[in-house]
Structure 1
């Protein structure tokens, strides 16, 4: 019979542990479970702390932000409304008017010795890049005192001429009214109206003109109500 001869190295080798001695996948997962729960709890606490910090920061700065917004609106209001026309605070005396076409409009009245001299309100229409927010002032006779753009996302260097700081285009509306300007003239020249458009940017001035016309029509529809207010 053949006999197997073992070498000295084989005789002294430590036999491997049986497979049954190794931890199963389930046992390994059980070992990791406390660590995963700890990480989840830590993440939750961090998120809660960040949220708390943001809430506190918002509460501390909310008053300052509101004051800055009021200051910005007042600065624009002074551009469209001559100071000689009012001795009240138009922003503080603001009220809302429900309009059948434009919805709810907030109106800021200018009064001199208790008499209404003008109204200021905001409006917007969609331009090329999005809404173009405008503020305009109209006197008690329905004449435009001034128009300014508050915010827009139009193409810089091309359509931003609607800003008073970029050009005088927006000042062309000063003094106009429904009485001295025919309805069919409230368009850009490309559409048969009297207002200049910008080369390669007709949509932007078209939206501005539309908002100005809507503002005049709003004032005309509610002239008596505005005086009463």
Structure 2
């Protein structure tokens, strides 16, 4: 089955950064949208700036019951972009139970809850695209972010396992793994380096950019373009992949 003429796409963590860029790209590609996040006000502001049919759902994807209730009220979902996520840094010895459980809940369990909510509908329609926004931290290790890296490795493993389960159902499941990207999350990482090391903001940014062989940060639009392609009919043979959008950092 081919992609529907006007697919309904759900984007979680849609309020800013990568999520907002993906929402705008999918709208430009002819999708109707449901924007999911924890703060309705910021989602409504984004919806007002997009020339497309947009609905807004305030929901914490880490809460299973909230996800079930939110998705039950939606029209059938053709495209699911699991973008909601959170990152914090701490050495393993200082990683609290709360930090560990919180990062797994948002990054990994949220991806599972939302995916589970759309699978039956996609199977019935015979077509679906699920794209999980992971990270290069799901492909390699970084110091001081063990909880985040563990969650994102879990997202990649979940992606591969589900892709096998639904391979004959017309549904593809892929992960996109950005490197350091110009978002609020990057700004927080830079601020943390400045605070912990005394380096200047420019030095901290240069340190992170140096991980990318292109010596630059990824843009949200770079990520959105990869996601949009994975949602196209041209990517029908792509499933179970963890695609690194990182300027060659991960090969």
TM-score, with length taken from structure 2:
0.23
Structure with more strand by fraction: 1
